[in-house]
Structure 1
């Protein structure tokens, strides 16, 4: 079923929040609403969560072998686009590629301690933190040593994605640490924990990196 055009849905609505709610009710996904209104994904999510609206989490799927239409159930985990991280201060590093059996990353990650994310096409699928430097961590994933379970598992996921024709890229951030009431707070570890809780990336196992 064809959706009502955005111009019709938002006609006469003055506030961005009203437009967000109207578009969600009209069947537009949260990621689409953010792009159409040129606003941050978090803004869309907050407005809909505050209003108790989960319509933006559902997508209607039409089967090619049948005239039946099935609707995917609403889920707390909606795919998060990389724009959410870019707007918050993450930087693109490059794309993973396969040259024969050799896995390589087209860019060079920072040497500092920080947070990293892997993107499958247009979805953030993995978030992690490293205390050994981002360059070192990317090299560990590139090698995917069998004796290091996480490295080997994520290396295999990257390879599977590339073999299936998907784009897999990497992004990084180097957040500052700070003091809280005189106590040290690790900015990188805190950011990783918050992102995993918010995004629930599907390559992270049980909410962990």
Structure 2
């Protein structure tokens, strides 16, 4: 397909096409599928594009070390931390997003895993089963559910499966005050690991 971006297929041209499609509101997985490139290629281009410009280095001394990129979250780390496989995302014959097994009803944390790496982590304060139901049938005002619905469908069009791992940590106390175990675990994982489908970061 010829477009105004085509200049011989250079890496600069591909990067421009990735940014243009992202500006149109396409998910990273859909951009990768359309351009026939790897997901990580599109993700890195968009991530670099979102970084703030770096000021010039002062000549008075050595530059400060750059912030270390967060590592990916392997499924082995989840399992070692108490997560368990609960099911897989699938497409139904009616092209709806469904889970192949009944999910726990407890409040907890869930992770979407592709190719052995967690791409998304969330907390289900209403219960895991109910929360994930809305990813398959998002309401008109549920922007996160709508976004993940599109992302998961695009990924399942090219990937074998997206696995769902869950954990149900206990609530705690600190100096007599209540601490929500699931919310704390979710935030801790987002803060420490690179989760490409999570829009919210943790500074």
* Residue in structure 2 matching 1:82, options 67, 71, 75: 75
CA distance in 1, matches of 2:201, 2:102: 27
Q: Output the aligned Cα RMSD.
A: 1.7
The equivalent residue for 1:98 is 91
RCO (CA 8 Å, sep 6+): is it higher in 1 or 2?
2
Once the two structures are superposed, what CA deviation does each residue of 1:125-182 show, in whole Å capped at 9, x if it has no partner? Answer: 0011121111101101111334310000011111111012242111111100111111
The normalised TM-score by structure 1 is 0.61
The normalised TM-score by structure 2 is 0.62
CA distance in 1, matches of 2:152, 2:101: 16
The equivalent residue for 1:201 is 195
Q: Give the number of equivalent residue pairs.
A: 135
Runs of 4+ in 1 over 6 A off after TM superposition: none
CA distance in 1, matches of 2:138, 2:115: 21
Once the two structures are superposed, what CA deviation does each residue of 1:34-56 show, in whole Å capped at 9, x if it has no partner? Answer: xxxxxxxxxxxxxxxxxxxxxxx
Indicate if the aligned counterparts of 1:200 and 1:207 stay in contact, CA closer than 8 A. no
* Residue in structure 1 matching 2:153, options 151, 159, 170: 159
* Residue in structure 2 matching 1:111, options 105, 115, 139: 105
**1:109 CA drift (Å):** 1.6
CA distance in 1, matches of 2:76, 2:173: 29
**1:198 CA drift (Å):** 1.0
* Residue in structure 2 matching 1:169, options 138, 163, 167: 163
Indicate if the aligned counterparts of 2:73 and 2:194 stay in contact, CA closer than 8 A. no
Structure 2: gaps (5+ residues): 1-66
**1:121 CA drift (Å):** 1.9
**1:107 CA drift (Å):** 1.7
Structure 1: gaps (5+ residues): 1-73
In structure 2, relative to structure 1, the CA distance for the partners of 1:75 and 1:180 (3 Å cut) is closer
